[in-house]
Amino acid sequence: MLTSGSVSVAAWLAIAVASAPQGEEAQADGGVSLSWTAPAECPDIEEVRTRLDALLGDREPGAPYVRLDATVTRGAETFTLQMRTQTAGGTSTHTLQSPDCRALADGAALVAAVAADPLAVDRSLAADPIGEPALPPDEVVVTPSPPLADPPRPRGRLRLARFALRADGVLEHGMLPRLGFGPIITAGLIGPQWRVEVGAVVLPPRDHFTDSMRTTGAAFGSWGVRVRGCGVPVVKIVEFPLCGGFEGGQMTSRPLRATALEGAARRAFGLFAFGGGFGISPRPFIALLAGVDGIVALARPRFESASVLLHQPGRIGVRATIGLELRVP
């Protein structure tokens, strides 16, 4: 009866997948007759016989006669072994396949040896077990990735408020008799997706005449302070501020030619502004912003001369801005 060691070796040798051409002739030695035909790259019959003798070792007297006819053929990727084993008990056939023809030669020797004297095979395997290669210890190899030559700048949400100072140019229609233009200086705080700011708006005076002869008129300008808050969705380096706020200040007038103004030359005004825009921040400390606001007048001063209306701000207007902003830290 085979031990577990011999059975495991037999199973390992019988696992394979293969095929091959022609080879050598038969030999007989005592009670084992061996016929071996195989391609040139396979072991020859002498090697098979040597392996067979090593498996049998010292045979018991009166061991049965065995005849083994083995043929190996070569296929595209594997060798195939066809075996016919004859003993006193009958004839059996076996087919093995393997990509390694030497494994098939070992399998043929083992089948013949087991058929001839299984106890001798058991003794030889126990005396000289087939060692398994020692497995290397588990290892974890960590290879750090090289740093990027130009790593992208992270633009995660800001965790603290930042200070901002911005200078805008403004074009405004509706407050003055003619298209007004001037500067806006703004200071503010910026959060992850919000901002609050206060700014000074100045529109220099522009001449306005009520008649074609340009005899009656005045130069109108304004200054004001605005306070507003914004929600600011951010996509990578692009910002989309949506803002609303109030503005109050004075509208100024200066008579031209022989015009006589009725009442004070400076009068208060107030308005509500709301709108949106977009900004680009290529670096954390700088941004370019542009926007358009609609304005609704809350206080509309009248300027008259000899009961003739020189100017009164419109109920609604529009304002466009573009500016550069510095941010710290």
Asked if 287 and 327 touch (Cβ cutoff 8 Å), the reply is yes
Q: Domains of the chain (ranges plus CATH)?
A: 4-127 (no CATH), 162-328 (2.40.160.20)
pLDDT band with cut points at 50, 70 and 90 for residue 235: very high
Residue predicted with more confidence, 118 or 149: 118
The pLDDT, as a whole number, for residue 220 is 96
Asked if 250 and 267 touch (Cβ cutoff 8 Å), the reply is yes
Q: What is the mean pLDDT of the chain?
A: 82
Q: State pLDDT tens for residues 90-122.
A: 888 888 888 888 888 888 888 888 887 777 777
Q: State pLDDT tens for residues 254-281.
A: 999 989 999 999 999 999 999 999 999 9
The pLDDT, as a whole number, for residue 12 is 40
C-alpha closest to that of 34 among 51, 22, 17: 51
pTM of the model as a whole? 0.53
The pLDDT, as a whole number, for residue 13 is 39
Averaged pLDDT, 16-44: 59
